[in-house]
Amino acid sequence: MLKIANLSKSFGTHKVIKNVSLTVGSEIRVVLGLNGCGKSTMLKIVAGILASDNGKILIDKRDVTALPPEDRHVGYVPQQASLFKHLSVRENIRYCLRNGRGAEADIDQLVEMLKIENVLDKKPEALSGGFQSRVSLARTLASQPHVMLMDEPLSDLDLAIKEKLIPEFRKVLKKLGIPVLYVTHDLSEAQLLGDRFSCMIEGVLSDADSAEKAFGLIRESISDYDLHGPAQHQLRN
């Protein structure tokens, strides 16, 4: 279980995360939010890539707030696949074994589940966007993380590919039964993937009963300022 309590983060005077609390059990929790609302920053803090100003992060009741990323046992799937370009697909997926994580047998199973058997000897640059996403997910899952953090991993893909991949990803993630925190700005992605939903608006996290309701809250929050810029905003007021 992942538990976030009273998390805050500022960059200079700009408060990006405002007192966020969240509990994620063995489910896929989708956080919907506009670009720049702080959802990626929240994931990076949970992964240990960024430090928070306040708050606590507990993974399976273990306080990991002060631990570096390598000691948290979280899986992080970034927006771009960010595969290791100098390594083959096989070496990418087996990377965690170098650090004594994961197991050979599980990796073979993942490769089969994500249908990447035929590209194992290729270099990442030779893969399509869809395959890069599959490999990125396999690489992370191979390390047997206790929590999965996914930062819009499908946002750069074509809609048709996305619609095909999401059910496959959901099947794999549900089979593992670990907490998944998935952030996106895409309603259809949230609908197809999530079990529970939240929305983030200017660094404030709120729960919602459904993806549609989360999206509705975001829509309501969009002001003239966001749509038309400062000049129109002033004009309308």
Phi, psi angles (nearest 5°) of residue 127: -95, 155
Contact status: 10 vs another protein (CB under 8 A): no
State the minimum distance, in angstroms, from the CB of residue 67 to another protein: 11
Neighbours of 44 (CB within 10 A): 19
Neighbours of 37 (CB within 10 A): 24
Task: Indicate the residue among 124 and 218 with the shorter CB distance to another protein.
Answer: 124
Closest CA to 129 of 92, 91, 84, 80: 80
| Residue environment code for 104-134, b if the CB has 16+ CB neighbours within 10 A, otherwise e | eeebeebbebbebeebeeebbeebebbbbbb
Give how many residues touch another protein by CB under 8 A.
30
Segment interacting with another protein, rule: CB under 8 A, options 10-18, 75-83, 168-176, 186-194: 75-83
Contact status: 95 vs another protein (CB under 8 A): yes
Task: Indicate the residue among 106 and 212 with the shorter CB distance to another protein.
Answer: 106
Contact status: 203 vs another protein (CB under 8 A): no
Task: Indicate the residue among 72 and 196 with the shorter CB distance to another protein.
Answer: 72
Cα-Cα-Cα-Cα dihedral sign, residues 33, 69, 119, 117: negative
Contact status: 44 vs another protein (CB under 8 A): yes
Closest CA to 60 of 127, 18, 3, 142: 3
Contact status: 2 vs another protein (CB under 8 A): no
What are the residues binding another protein (CB under 8 A)?
Answer: 44, 47-49, 68-70, 72, 74-80, 82-86, 95-96, 98-101, 139-140, 143, 145
